[in-house]
Amino acid sequence: MVFVTRKAHFNAAHRLHNPAKDDDWNASTYGKCNYPNWHGHNYVIEVTVAGEPDPDTGYVIDLGMLMNVIEDKVLEPCDHRNLNTDVPFLSGIIPTSENLVKVFYQELQESVESIAAEGSVLYSVRLFETERNIAEYCPFRQINI
């Protein structure tokens, strides 16, 4: 199995706020991330595809084509946007990194797998909210706790 990763970046604003909870709960749970006038991040997204290289091309996936899908499905809708209000596929979702990686995976999966080598899969999506805060969604890994 070969793993191929493409990295991209985008900038976006968001507010962590659960409308089902009161203001005190939101302020104590989310701290500065709950400020009513939003805050922003310089996000980095990594999209990893797993499979065997195509015998004709030697590619698991053409990285240029993968970048086009990332641009179409994530960067164009999210870059320089407010993730709470401007991105239809995020409507009703608290835009934590944990929630974002799952939704980004779902947005990317069909298009990525349609251009990858036969039998290849979208393996994972990682999102760097900051240099130190990273979330990863990888439905193929089983963790027994």
- The whole-number pLDDT of residue 145 equals 55
Per-residue pLDDT of the chain (145 residues; tens, 9 = 90+): 999 999 999 999 999 999 999 999 999 999 999 999 999 999 999 999 999 999 999 999 999 999 999 999 999 999 999 999 999 999 999 999 999 999 999 999 999 999 999 999 999 999 999 999 999 999 986 656 5
Q: Is 80 a catalytic residue?
A: yes
Residue 4: closest CA among 60, 54, 71 = 60
Answer whether residue 84 is part of any domain: no
DSSP-assigned letter for residue 9: E
Answer whether residue 41 is part of any domain: yes
- Backbone phi, psi, residue 130, to 5°: -140, 180
- The whole-number pLDDT of residue 16 equals 98
Q: Is 16 helix (H, G, I), strand (E, B) or coil?
A: coil
39, 80, 98, 110: the active-site residue: 80
Answer whether residue 44 is part of any domain: yes
| Residues contacting residue 88 through CB under 8 Å, at least 6 positions apart | 77
Residue spans of alpha helices (H) in the chain: 23-30, 63-70, 76-78, 97-115
33, 41, 78, 113: the active-site residue: 33
pTM of the model: 0.95
DSSP-assigned letter for residue 27: H
Q: Is 39 a catalytic residue?
A: no
Answer whether residue 117 is part of any domain: yes
Tell me the CATH number at 117: 3.30.479.10
Answer whether residue 78 is part of any domain: no
41, 78, 113, 129: the active-site residue: 129
- The whole-number pLDDT of residue 144 equals 63
Q: Is 33 a catalytic residue?
A: yes
Which tokens is 79 given? Answer: 């870059």
Q: Which residue type, as a one-letter code, is found at position 25?
A: W
Range of the domain at 11: 2-64+94-137
Number of domains making up the chain: 1
- The whole-number pLDDT of residue 61 equals 98
Which tokens is 101 given? Answer: 């990686």
